[in-house]
Homo-oligomer: A and B are copies of this chain.
């Protein structure tokens, strides 16, 4: 249960970007604006129905990616974990399904930029 659809990802991006919990309405507006900002041909600034956003949020909640405060009346939604955490976890998931973890890591390291290699060295030094 890892992969997200396009809209699901867009919503998560907004939740990850904003530090505060947001309501469905807020998110709908931001979605319209950010898709307009993307501009480009064929992808106009869509105004989604609020129910659409709510459906997506519910699905994300079921997937464990989003938490909602049920107390306040316009429910407020926020990401369960940061994007970095989530992405790192995803990477572990991908890696985890391999019996040859070391070989995978070798290939992975082999195609990392020099700057990131430096970062990794620093991080590994700390252990």
Chain A positions near chain B (C-beta within 8 angstroms): 2-3, 82-85, 87-92, 94-95, 97-98, 100-111, 114, 116-117, 119-121, 123-124, 127
Contacts and interface: CB of A to CB of B under 8 A. Distances in A.
A83 B94 CA distance: 11
A104 B87 contact: yes
- In the complex, the count of this chain's copies comes to 2
B91 A106 contact: no
Contact of A87 (B94, B116, B117): B94
A101 B115 CA distance: 11
Nearest to A90: B94
Contacts of A123: 105-106, 109-110
A99 to B, nearest CB: 8
A5 to B, nearest CB: 12
A107 B24 CA distance: 29
